[in-house]
Amino acid sequence: MAGSGVWQRPSFNQCDRDLNRPLAKFPGTAHPPIADGSLDGGILITIHRLSHGGADRVAMHLANGFARDGIAVGIAVLRSGGEGEQSLLDLLDPGIRVGHAGAPMGSRHLELVRGARYLRRLTATARPAVVMASSNNMGLVTGLALRGQKVGGRPKTVMKTTNPVIRPGDRSDLRKLYRRRLYGFVFGNFDHILTLSAEECDVLAKLYPRQSGKFQVATNPYVTHEMLRDYDRPRRSGPATILTLARMMPQKRLDLLLAAFARVQPADCKLVIVGDGPERPRLEALAHSLGIADRVNMPGFVDDALPWLRTADLFALSSDYEGLPAVVLEALACNVPVVTTDSFDAARSMIADAPRCAVVPHGDVDGFARAIEQSLASRAEGDLRHIARSYGFDAAFASHLDALRPLLQSN
């Protein structure tokens, strides 16, 4: 009821009315709307919502890079109201066009259905040469939205992978078969698939040999020039600081990190978990039950993680699975050693032999604790920043342009 303060789920009739209205700019920003013909020969990037996730931040940086190269670029968001909306829109160059399909509907599935219809209409009117799905989740809806378009009027389609196709939690053969066939269908709707590492590219080529020609590595813009800049590391005495940057969600396995931290000796070190999310109450309760609450700091989400990274003695990543975690590369760029679970395809090739770094198996609490202890106790020296330099902004934009320019020129 209007004015009652009680939320009502929008109907598809309402969605149809919303989608038939003229395309408008994103509320609360100065960014221009995606108008008819405004992306002619350019790139449209699709996002579900503007969250605190790394894939959304990467999309903003890529959009800026494309625009500075003279390419018309727009960002299509399937729903407004994401928790990172304002901070991400503030990252965008002012001239980049942004649009959205509508307000939250209370159901991700309804938002994806509405979003598919929105993307179909948007691509037909804005006429981009390339539509790029920013994540695994956007692959399905973006592919379906453009699947039925006539070949002559259909833009080239590109999907960026952000997580493994088969995850550690997919233990049953039936679940693995379902995931494999689902992504076989998703990949079939795209002209090119941009992977996060050569190791992931190899894994996907073996899973989908008939589509192996579509897979290409494109480095993400994770590491800023500021992160790689030389700085005077503050001299500190006292207990060591272990840092992690993570959304408080089950995938991140922060419960494993807390359990491992409780076993670390010496017992006076500190753990800082920067981030927020639905798991916060459970994690706070766990820290109390383990008797470590006085040594664990959970400051919440921050816009700038650089000051936290530069004062950390060790970075810890406890996730079950990742694509290629930006936080690991950001830590390395600040010359902070990393202890991580074997949660992404490139983990071992990237850091297993690096000074003071370690990769441990999924779910191994004792192994994680030992790796933390050994890293803190190690006196090994070495510059970890060389690992991160290849993931700097310049290299990332160049790799994406190498992949996309032939598609832009073919239209």
- Residue 60 predicted with pLDDT over 90: yes
- Tens of pLDDT, residues 150-208: 555 689 999 999 989 988 878 899 999 999 999 999 999 999 999 999 999 999 999 99
Tokens of 183: 């992504």
Contact (Cβ atoms closer than 8 angstroms) between residue 207 and residue 176: no
**What share of the chain in percent tops pLDDT 70?**
90
Rounded to a whole number, what is the distance in angstroms from the first to the last CA of the chain? 48
Contact (Cβ atoms closer than 8 angstroms) between residue 359 and residue 340: yes
pLDDT of 10 reads 42
Dist CA 219 CA 222 (whole Å): 9
Question: DSSP code of 72?
Answer: -
pLDDT of 236 reads 61
Tokens of 249: 């969600």
- Residue 407 predicted with pLDDT over 50: yes
- Tens of pLDDT, residues 229-277: 877 666 666 789 999 999 999 999 999 999 999 999 888 899 999 999 9
Q: What is the mean pLDDT of residues 384-407?
A: 90
- Average the pLDDT over each of 10-19, 329-338, 366-375 and give the range with the smallest value: 10-19
Contact (Cβ atoms closer than 8 angstroms) between residue 146 and residue 189: yes
Tell me how far CA of residue 162 lies from CA of 273, 328, 389, in angstroms.
22, 15, 20
- Residue 24 predicted with pLDDT over 60: no
Nearest alpha carbon to residue 388 among 310, 342, 335: 335
Q: Which tops the pLDDT comparison, 150 or 46?
A: 46
Q: What is the mean pLDDT of residues 111-115?
A: 89
- Residue 388 predicted with pLDDT over 50: yes
Q: What is the mean pLDDT of residues 45-59?
A: 91
| Residue burial 186-212, b: 16+ Cβ < 10 Å; e: rest | bbebbebbbbbbebbbebbeebbeebe
Confidence band of 54 (pLDDT split at 50, 70, 90): confident
pTM: 0.82
Nearest alpha carbon to residue 130 among 49, 56, 45: 45
- Residue 369 predicted with pLDDT over 50: yes
Tokens of 134: 């920013």
- Residue 296 predicted with pLDDT over 80: yes
Evaluated on CA atoms 355, 356, 360, 366, the torsion sign reads positive
- Residue 98 predicted with pLDDT over 90: yes
Strands (E) across 161-225 are located at 192-195, 215-217
- Residue 109 predicted with pLDDT over 90: no
- Average the pLDDT over each of 63-72, 121-130, 169-178, 287-296 and give the range with the smallest value: 169-178
Q: What is the mean pLDDT of residues 58-80?
A: 94
Per the listing, tokens 């030389």 go with 230
How far is residue 138 CA from its own chain's centroid?
A: 12
pLDDT of 169 reads 79
pLDDT of 116 reads 92
| Residue burial 309-325, b: 16+ Cβ < 10 Å; e: rest | beebbbbbbbbbbbbbb
Confidence band of 225 (pLDDT split at 50, 70, 90): confident
Q: What is the overall mean pLDDT for the chain?
A: 88
- Give the other-Cβ count within 10 Å of 225's Cβ: 10
- Tens of pLDDT, residues 142-165: 999 998 665 556 899 999 999 899
Contact (Cβ atoms closer than 8 angstroms) between residue 254 and residue 283: yes
Dist CA 411 CA 400 (whole Å): 17
Tokens of 74: 């727009």
Contact (Cβ atoms closer than 8 angstroms) between residue 159 and residue 142: yes
- Give the other-Cβ count within 10 Å of 349's Cβ: 12
**What share of the chain in percent tops pLDDT 90?**
67
Nearest alpha carbon to residue 49 among 159, 134, 165, 145: 134
- Alpha-helical (H) ranges within 189-305 are 198-207, 225-228, 254-263, 280-289
How far is residue 85 CA from its own chain's centroid?
A: 14
Nearest alpha carbon to residue 300 among 277, 282, 274: 274
pLDDT of 53 reads 82
